[in-house]
Chain A
Amino acid sequence: MSNTILEMRSITKTFPGVKALSDVNLDVREAEIHAIVGENGAGKSTLMKVLSGVYPDGSYDGEIVYKGEVQHFKSIRDSEHKGIVIIHQELALVPLLSIAENIFLGNEQARNGVIDWDETRDGARKLLGMVGLTEDPDTLVTNIGVGKQQLVEIAKALSKEVKLLILDEPTASLSEKDSAALLDLLMEFRRQGITSILISHKLNEISKVADRITVIRDGRSIETLNKEEISEDRIITLMVGRSLDDRYPPREPNIGDVVFEVKDWSVYHPLHRERQVIKNISINIRKGEVVGIAGLMGSGRTEFAMSVFGKSYGQKISGEVFLNGKKIDTATVEKAVANGLAYATEDRKTYGLNLIDHIKHNTTLANLGGISRAGVIDDMTEMDVANDYRKKTNIRSSSVYQITGNLSGGNQQKVVLSKWLFSNPDVLILDEPTRGIDVGAKYEIYTIINQLAAQGKAVLVISSEMPELLGITDRVYVMNEGRIVGEMPTSDASQEKIMRAIVRAEGKAS
């Protein structure tokens, strides 16, 4: 049994009107990977902000004992000084600076304020090597993928001689391949004696790498499990405080004729005219059917969906779209919506919501015609609509006047769904509808998807989580490198089969 490196004792943190943390205890041992799980809003991020000094000493109750000493961190600088480094969900890299500049940002390799570029580059190269990157340190961060950016963040942490690395949802936007590489890296760090705290929603990853898990619920630490006690069901039960026999609501499909069809869809990259991103894709969805698109990150799923939806991505788009056998025009978002399409984005903060406005205005934004006459909005109708959808999608908020930027991820996603439900589409494209939201809210969103299908709508779900696709769809398309490389009824599908379709296609491509 190794030593305890960190102990957080009875941490209580209150915000005006809300108790975010109440008597939370956490102990982390040296050179272990300690996972923290909990629903969104359970208090995980708050706890880590207390630890790293974002909330300074004195703004919370309780004590932090690190390496046997009580700590009073006044700022992130204090905690970093002691070797505690936090990597946030939203990466804190400057896109237009180089990898090397980013790694040493705030910690420049300089003498008397003059930067030593040779040392900067050499140092960066060495650190990049430690995280398995071979990129030129002069490459701009904006030119490398999200997975590699994450690794650059870790390299940056290493440059600060990190002893305790905190990762907040590090794999949320990574492909499975990149995630696996990241987790391997954490295990390598463990061998080198670096302790990691991992916050994640992905239970399969946690059970793979974590030595111990602390479950947090409603601002309290519920239980800490040892490796041998870890099972997904056990964790979920602790997280939601009730047993979830089934993570997916039962589905009784009632499938009719083909409603929606895309034929020979081709798209080129918006900047590189020669690069074909989508290659002659044809798909169809039937009435009342939930169809999934599986594929790795970067396989072109989002690009396909956005190019169909009002040519919101790419150039030189060719192909045809049919609704109920009739060819429809989807050349602008407005036309696509008018013709019965809806697309709920994978990135709700950037593309989905007006975060500074409230729920009511966001709900009606895609269908202002539905609440107005001759360009004049009927207040009362709008209010009824907003309240109605708030109830239907079970948005937890004080009223429809709550600013969407202050809602949790799950509730934000429900507002996005409300917006598109109110536009009354025939075809709904849901891009990563449950990304970054907790188990309970996921279940609610699955239920909504089921209801939509039951109403006879055609639903297309894009998801990186294969168990989710297998749990909620009727049929799955597999995409790889801009092509459809497989199609199977869900009853016949499995994670292995989907992966095999992808791998086989990759073999062919090369």
Chain B
Amino acid sequence: MIYDIRHVTTYSYETQVSFARCSLRLEPITGDGQQLVSHSVEIRPKPAERTARRDFFGTLTESVLIETAHRSLRIDSRSRVSVARQPPLRDAASPPWEGVRDNAFEALSLDATSPVGYVFASALVPVLRPVTAYASASFSPGGGILAGAADLMRRIRSDFKYDPKATVISTPLRDVFEKRHGVCQDFAHVMIAGLRGLGLPAAYVSGYLRTIPPPGQPRLQGADATHAWVSVWCGSELGWVGFDPTNDLMVANDHIILAIGRDFADVSPVDGIIVGARKQKLSVAVDVLPVD
């Protein structure tokens, strides 16, 4: 499946902003069942400086410096990606989760794909006892990792309410968990926290969902914005497998990966520092259309 993606981010400021330094992570990755065909980003006002490099996680990160005074910042990103993924079935045979945990602890690498980088608390995902206890109900002794993770995903989907007004970016995980509501980002963080509490490696994935579902299928939650889900390391044979707790879906060909990290802080698509705005308003528009 080939998709054309348009992702427009607009910040409007109450007063003039004299200076901005931003990091953009807007280029979809190649790998993990997808291939980047083309990509471009247009920025208004025009930056004084643009430099790109791959960060630790392999994401192309563009550093942008804007020195022109401006009242709005518009970042227009276009990508074409081809996706061909063969995810395992949720009831497929898989190694017992305790073994996966112990293997992860013994990893011999600190690379971005090594499971050991994803078993510890991170900036936005603390390891909390109640969350771990919640997750452990899905993992009976000796149970398979796939079945456990899929069950946890299903429970989050049914126990938590999707409510875009309930949380903001800074709402702590503890609140999300206690109040049982939030958006895709929150659900992904909750699932990751529960898995890590059990010692299981879980990564945060930012990306897109196709906007119009195939005929006869329901429109997915989060399709008109950037989306987030979870990647779980299921042992060296199965490797990393995608779980979408917002939609209770194994990640297949409707998901396009932008970036992978420990939590949102590692992958946020647009991030930065500005000088001068008193208030800011953000609008994000995403269109993901299949190319036939």
Is chain B a partner of chain A in the same complex? Answer: no
